[in-house]
Chain A
Amino acid sequence: MADAEMEASLKPIIDQKSLKWIFVGGKGGVGKTTTSCSLAVQMAKARKSVLLISTDPAHNLSDAFGMKFGKDARPVTGVEGLAAMEIDPNGSINDLISAGGDDAQEAMQGLGGVGSMFQDMAFSIPGVDEAMSFAEVLKQVKGMEYEVVIFDTAPTGHTLRFLQFPTVLEKALDKLSQLSKQFGGMINNLVSARGGLPNGQSFDDVLKRMEELQSTIGDVNKQFKNADLTTFIPVMIPEFLSLYETERMIQELGNYEIDTHAIVVNQLLFPKKDNPCEQCNARRKMQKKYLEQIDDLYGEDFNVVKMPLLVNEVRGVESITKFSEMLIKPYEAPQ
């Protein structure tokens, strides 16, 4: 079934003009950041504006490009039409609270035990902190109107939870708003007896904001499940654990109805035939074994892109640009 095999490059993804969200994920250390940066560079050539977001708390974008990025999108020097930003999924919820300033803290204290109880309750929903920051970022990104947004995600487990959030949070918010509809009057009385919320906010305002957040999330959820708008690119190395995780991830993505049709196999060794290095040859043999399995399992439905392990580190714009070309044109091994 040679004609059923898919093209061994990411060109179809770059040519898929409808794409708006691209996720890049995999186990730690397989080259997610390098791949996502390379993809972003190639994307920037084909589109007007591309945003690269790192949600990995380790933040490697700054290192990869050799320049400092922060919470706001900043253009990458040397690559036209590409901007990058780094967000910390765990940190930003605390930012959100402290952004409310003393008023928010006071309001919580004003409610006494009830306030802190609500806070605890809200945070005990699994993944709610990350989801909130995620929603916040998405809201920002929506306003900025980039043609494509590429996410460099944290290692596997995190990623899957991240993508699950819209569903989880939608459910949680649904419950909360239902609750507040039933007990809204009571809470309102409680609050006004305490002298009202700070800044003259009413409880209804808070509710309205919550509903807004919910509709944003619902919208995002719909977009993520649309194969025309969103795709997920797993990155792996030809070793058992990576392969295993990737298989698991692809299955789970299927459960969440998130499209994935391209895989990047990274760090392949291509030693020369008359190479005396025993270690290299042994590793090549092992990699070959797994590559055969990968082709067998995914060859028909996925673009399997094979990337070589270079002799130098891929750092800096130039180096990344050079590396990124191999995403489009399959690498030819030297004989």
Chain B
Amino acid sequence: MVSVLLLVFLLQLAIHLVNTFGAKAVNELVFTITISPEKEVTANSSKDADESATLRREVVRLNREMKAVSAQDDFAKWARIRREHDKAKDKYDKQSASLTSFRTTFDRLITAARWLGTQGLQFFCNAYFSKEAMFWLPQGWVPSHVEWVLGFPRAPQGAVSINIWSMACASVIAMVSEGARAGLTLREGRVREGANKGEKLKMEGGGVGGKKEL
């Protein structure tokens, strides 16, 4: 059995990763991983996409043709093109709507699954292991009211509860990732995000080895 300690840590890591990369990116990733290898679906959806593109080209062509004909001088011809155009446009709208709706359903499913796998699992673990000790503190290390806090809400006195442990994991993961990001930024010497992205960092002292005069 996987140790609960490790499980909680991995869970927090997963939540953190999802939060940093964004739910949308995760959905995109899952979409490309799961849908693309299945040949049948790919063939189907790419066929749909092809058809959609053809229809769009058709609509554009008819639109251009319609504009080339003078409605006042050649109404019959113009009206016939317009009928065709309307029909093609209708078909295209329907087609693209069905494509989008498939994607929406997929996204909703993945979002639900992701939530169950991360937050849901976390809630479940918190409830299931709430009375268990993650590990015991050596007796007398901390005063008894601190022990009470560490065992919050239901773990026995003198132990660390799952809630406290997951909070600790989350904090450490957040700090480490912040540190890593800061390190990367420093190394590159450029601002990596925000409004002034790409600007040089304003660092005093210049070079790494340069001594600062005090």
- Chain A contact residues, CB within 8 Å of chain B: 240, 243-244, 247, 251, 289-290, 293-294, 296-297
Contacts and interface: CB of A to CB of B under 8 A. Distances in A.
Contact of B86 (A251, A289, A293): A251
B186 interface: no
A250 to B, nearest CB: 9
- Interface SS, B side: helix
Contacts of B86: 251
- Interface SS, A side: helix
A247 B82 CA distance: 10
Contact of B76 (A244, A251, A293): A293
Nearest to B75: A293
B108 interface: no
A243 B76 CA distance: 10
B83 A240 contact: no
Nearest to B74: A293
A290 B75 contact: yes
A247 B86 CA distance: 12
B66 to A, nearest CB: 13
Given A244-B71, A251-B86, A293-B75, 10 more contacts: A240-B72, A240-B75, A244-B75, A247-B75, A247-B79, A247-B82, A289-B73, A293-B76, A297-B75, A297-B76
A14 to B, nearest CB: 28
8 contacts: A240-B71, A247-B79, A251-B83, A293-B74, A293-B75, A293-B76, A294-B76, A297-B76
A309 to B, nearest CB: 21
Contacts of B82: 247
Contacts of B73: 289
Interface string B62-106: 000000000111111001101100100000000000000000000
Interface centre among A243, A247, A290 (most CB of B within 10 A): A247
Interface residues of B, number: 11
A239 to B, nearest CB: 10
A293 B71 CA distance: 10
Contacts of B74: 293
Interface centre among B74, B79, B80, B86 (most CB of A within 10 A): B79
B61 to A, nearest CB: 20
Contacts of B79: 247, 297
A304 to B, nearest CB: 13
A247 B76 CA distance: 10
A251 B86 CA distance: 10
Contacts of A297: 75-76, 79-80
A296 B71 contact: no
A285 to B, nearest CB: 13
Interface centre among B71, B72, B82 (most CB of A within 10 A): B72
Contacts of A247: 75, 79, 82
Nearest to A292: B76
A24 to B, nearest CB: 22
A247 B80 CA distance: 10
A335 to B, nearest CB: 28
A296 B76 contact: yes
Contacts of A293: 74-76
A223 to B, nearest CB: 26
Nearest to A297: B76
**Top 3 A-B pairs ranked by shortest CB distance?**
A296-B76, A293-B75, A297-B76
A243 B75 CA distance: 8
A128 B180 CA distance: 63
Contacts of A251: 83, 86
A243 B79 CA distance: 10
A189 B51 CA distance: 55
Contacts of B71: 240, 244
Contacts of B83: 251
A244 B66 CA distance: 14
Nearest to B83: A251
Contacts of A244: 71, 75
B42 to A, nearest CB: 35
B87 to A, nearest CB: 10
Interface string B119-147: 00000000000000000000000000000
A293 B82 CA distance: 15
Contacts of B72: 240
Contacts of A290: 75
Nearest to B86: A251
Contacts of B80: 297
Interface string B140-165: 00000000000000000000000000
Nearest to A254: B83
Nearest to A289: B73
A10 B76 CA distance: 23
A290 B74 CA distance: 9
Nearest to B82: A247
A252 to B, nearest CB: 10
Contacts of A243: 75
Nearest to A247: B79
